[in-house]
Amino acid sequence: MRRRTFLLGTATLAGAALTSHAQAAVPQPYSWEASPPTGNREAFIKWMVENRGEDPNFLVQRWARYEVLIANKDLANEANRRAFLLTPREEFALRQNLNRAYDHAFLDIGFGVTISGPHVVGRMTSAIDVKRGEKVLEIGTGSGYQSAYLANLTDQVFTIEIIKPLAERTRGVYDGLIGRGYSEFKSVTSKPADGYYGWEEAAPFDKIIVTCGIDHIPPALLQQLKAGGIMVIPVGPPGAQRILRVVKEQAPDGNFTIARSDIYNGRVVPFVPFTKLEGEAIKGTHRK
């Protein structure tokens, strides 16, 4: 199992374009007991500046997006509201997209892939109802934003990215943030690999979130999900997935049952493809 093991020397040119706007140390240590106020924008910003040392310009945008997420019912509970408000999305965007970090949109992060939009992240994460202490696996680390959000819900986050230089760049982002005092990101264990096969050594998982699209549920992921566990996964043909919530239950006779529901009631949400590693090279997809 790897925890922050990558060599930062492999950071790529794409990495050089990442944000480096706010290098201040975080003023207060992270506490699971502490949450920013949600009564009004000014109280939120004041608390975040005093406790997290973040830039008010981004906090204004985070609050504005939060209000829309609430109106859309994309954040199902208190824990998800807290996680959204505490996660600095701007740290995971490319510099050229900084002014769009809180847009209702997915954004380019280099390597031909994207950071998912904030509404999709909120709704998908809410669908797996992560509780503190649960072990969560993410397939498709990408920018690292989704795992950062998860690290504000639980202290056991495992994430896999198939594009090795992207996995290394994102590990560098986490290590930089940890160095500045974002100790919550120490909970993120990452590795470059093909996530189709899950993470056997770290399994079983209470929850699994897949952030790339595929036409079936990978058997290894279902196998590595605990009984009573929940997975959220975009399933469907290329560019036209539906996001499924999959609940695995074990019947008294020992057999497993799988219940599926669509978190958007049938709406199509396109995702980048669930690609396939052959040796060291990414070749095609895991499409059946």
Ligand X SMILES: C[S@@+](CC[C@H](N)C(=O)[O-])C[C@H]1O[C@@H](n2cnc3c(N)ncnc32)[C@H](O)[C@@H]1O
Catalytic residue among 116, 126, 147, 187: 116
Q: Can you give the C-alpha Rg of the chain in angstroms?
A: 18
Nearer to ligand X, 253 or 278 (CB): 278
Say whether residue 160 binds ligand X (CB under 6 A): yes
Q: How many residues bind ligand X (CB under 6 A)?
A: 24
Q: Which of 211, 225, 207, 193 is nearest to 1 (CA)?
A: 193
Please, what's the b/e burial string for 76-114 (b: 16 or more CB within 10 A of its CB; e: otherwise)? eeebbbbbbbbbbbbbbbbeebbeebbeeebbebbbebb
CA distance 208 to 230: 7
Among 75, 127, 137, 139, binds ligand X (CB under 6 A): 139
Among 69, 153, 163, 173, binds ligand X (CB under 6 A): 163
Say whether residue 211 binds ligand X (CB under 6 A): yes
**Alpha carbon of residue 89 to chain centroid:** 11
Helix (H, G, I), strand (E, B) or coil at 242: strand
Say whether residue 275 binds ligand X (CB under 6 A): yes
Among 47, 63, 145, 158, binds ligand X (CB under 6 A): 145
Nearer to ligand X, 122 or 195 (CB): 195
Which pair of structure tokens corresponds to residue 131? 């509780």
Sign, Cα dihedral of 249, 250, 251, 257:
positive
Q: Interacting stretch for ligand X, rule CB under 6 A, among 19-27, 79-87, 156-164, 254-262?
A: 156-164
Among 110, 140, 176, 229, binds ligand X (CB under 6 A): 140
Q: Say which residue the tokens 């106020």 belong to.
A: 37
Query: Can 116 be counted among the known catalytic residues?
Result: yes
**Nearest-approach distance from CB 49 to ligand X, in angstroms:** 25
Binding site for ligand X (CB under 6 A): 113-116, 139-140, 142-143, 145-146, 160-163, 166, 194-196, 211-212, 271-272, 274-275
Active site amino acids: 116
